[in-house]
Amino acid sequence: MAKGTNNGALYILMFNLFITMGGIGIIVPVMPAYLQIFGVGGQVLGFLIAGFALAQFLFSPVAGELSDRHGRKMFIIGGLIVYGFSQILFGLADAVWVLFIARFLSGAGAAFVMPPIMAFVADITTVEERGKGMGMLGAAMSLGFTIGPGLGGVLSGINLHFPFYVAGSAALVAAVLSWLILPNIKNTADMKAVARPPSENLLKQLVKSTRASYFIFLIVVFTFSFGISNFQSTLSLYLDHKFGYTPLDISIILTVGGFAGVILQIFVIDKLFKKYGEMKVILVNLLLAAVMMLLVIFVSGFFVVLIVATLFSIATTFIRPAVNTLISKVAGNEQGFAAGMNNAYMSLGNMFGPALAGMLFEWKITSPYILGSIVLAGCFVLAYTWATRKASHLLRAS
C-alpha cells in the first residue's frame, strides 16, 4: 500500500483518529445528565456542538495548507495536545461559559489532527489503494465513535466528570506515541508545488475551493454533514425524552451501529468501491440515511430503534470514506488543502446542523429528524444530478 513507507505510519494515524473520535463519542451518552448539572438542555447542547464545529471550520483549512508546506507530524501532535487538555477542562468546568471555551478548543485541536492525517494517508498510498487507506481511516474513526459511547456509559457510573478526564488523557498519550513513532514524511515535490504563494486567509481559500474540480464533493460533504448532525446531536436527548433511556441504553444503540459500520468498512467497503465506484456508494447510502432518519420518529421498542439507528450508522459510515477518496483522488499536489477544505465544509454542516437541531428540538422533538431527512434527500438529488450530467458529457465527448 505504501509508497516506500512502512505500514506503521498508517497504524499510528488510525490510532490517533480512533482516540480523537473516541473522545467525541465517550461524552455523547453522558451529555444529557452532565448538562443538567448546569441547568441547561438541548439548545445549549446544540450550540456546544456547533462551537466545536466552528473551531474546526476556522482552523481546518489552515492546518491542511500548513501541513502541505511544513509536513504533517508536528501539527498532528500539537492538535492532540490541545484536544487532550481541552477535554480535561470540559470535565473540570464549573460554569457554562467554560464548557463553550473547552469545546471550541477541542474543535481547534481536532482541526489540526484530521486534515493532516487524511493528507498523510494520501502521501503514503497509491491512487489505486487510496480507497482502502481512506476506508481504514474511516474504520478507525467509526471504531472510536463506537467504543466511545459504550465506554462513556460505563465510566459515567463512577461520576459524570470521569469520562472527560479519560478522553483527555488518552489524547495526550496518543500525542506522545506519535512523537515517538510517527515518521515526519515530507513529499518535497508536493511541498514545492504548493509553496508558491503565501498562506491565504479563510475567505480566499473558500473562494478558491469553488473553482476546484472536486467542489461538488465539498457541497455533498456540507449537505450530508448538516443532515447527519441533526440526527447525531439530538439522538441521546430524543431517546431520553421520549423513551426514558438511560446513558447505558443510549450507549448500546450507538455502539452496535458503530461496530457494524466498522466491520463493513474493514471487509467490504474497498470491494464496493472497486465494483461499483465511490459515487454509486454515496448515492445509495444517502437514500438509506434519509429513510432511516425519518423512520426514527415513527418506530418504538428498543430493538426496532436499535435496527433503525444501526442502518443509519452503516449508511453514514460508507458515505464519509467514499467522499474522502474522491476528493483525494483529484486533489493532486494539494492533498493538505483539499483535506482541510473537506474538513471545513464538514464543519460548516456540523456547525449549523446541531445549532438548528437544538432549537428545533426545544420546539418539537421530532422536527430535527424531519429536516435532516429532507436535507439528505436533497443531497442525493444534487449528487445524482451531477453524476448524470458528468456521464452524459463523457458520452458526448466519446
Distances (CA, A) of 7 to 16, 80, 267: 15, 21, 18
Identify the domain containing residue 46 by its residue range: 7-183
Q: What is the mean pLDDT of the chain?
A: 82
Residues 143 and 217 in one domain: no
pLDDT of residue 36: 85
Residue 377 pLDDT more than 80?
yes
Q: Which CATH number covers residue 229?
A: 1.20.1250.20
Confidence of residue 98 (pLDDT cuts 50, 70, 90): very high
Rg of the chain taking only CA atoms, in angstroms: 20
| Alpha carbon distance 1, 132 (integer Å) | 9
For the segment 128-145, the average pLDDT, to the nearest whole number, is: 77
Confidence of residue 188 (pLDDT cuts 50, 70, 90): very low
Confidence of residue 241 (pLDDT cuts 50, 70, 90): confident
Does the residue 128 lie in any domain? yes
| Alpha carbon distance 44, 202 (integer Å) | 27
Residues 165 and 218 in one domain: no
Residues 233 and 332 in one domain: yes
Q: Which residue has the higher pLDDT, 322 or 284?
A: 284
Angle between helices 302-330 and 215-243 (to 10 degrees): 160
- 184 with 71: CB under 8 angstroms? yes
Where are the alpha helices (H) located in the chain, listed in sequence order? 8-25, 31-36, 42-70, 73-92, 96-111, 114-124, 130-155, 162-181, 188-194, 202-210, 215-243, 247-267, 269-276, 278-295, 302-330, 335-363, 367-397
pLDDT of residue 305: 94
Q: What angle do CA 177, 324, 24 make, to 5 degrees?
A: 50
Residue 191 pLDDT more than 50?
no
- 147 with 2: CB under 8 angstroms? no
Does the residue 210 lie in any domain? yes
- HSE-CB at 194 with a 13 A cutoff on CA atoms is 23
Residues 163 and 206 in one domain: no
Q: Please state the domain count of the chain.
A: 2
Residues 171 and 208 in one domain: no
Three-state DSSP at 38 gives: coil
Does the residue 194 lie in any domain? no
Residue 395 pLDDT more than 70?
no
Per-residue pLDDT tens over the stretch 244-279? 888 778 878 877 887 787 788 778 887 888 888 889
- Find all residues with CB under 8 Å of 119, minimum gap 6, and list them: 64, 67, 68, 72, 335, 336, 338, 339
Extract the C-alpha cell encoding 52. Answer: 466545536
For the segment 220-236, the average pLDDT, to the nearest whole number, is: 81
In the chain the first and final C-alpha atoms are separated, in Å, by 33
Nearest to 46 by CA among 377, 371, 378, 380: 371
| Alpha carbon distance 269, 130 (integer Å) | 12
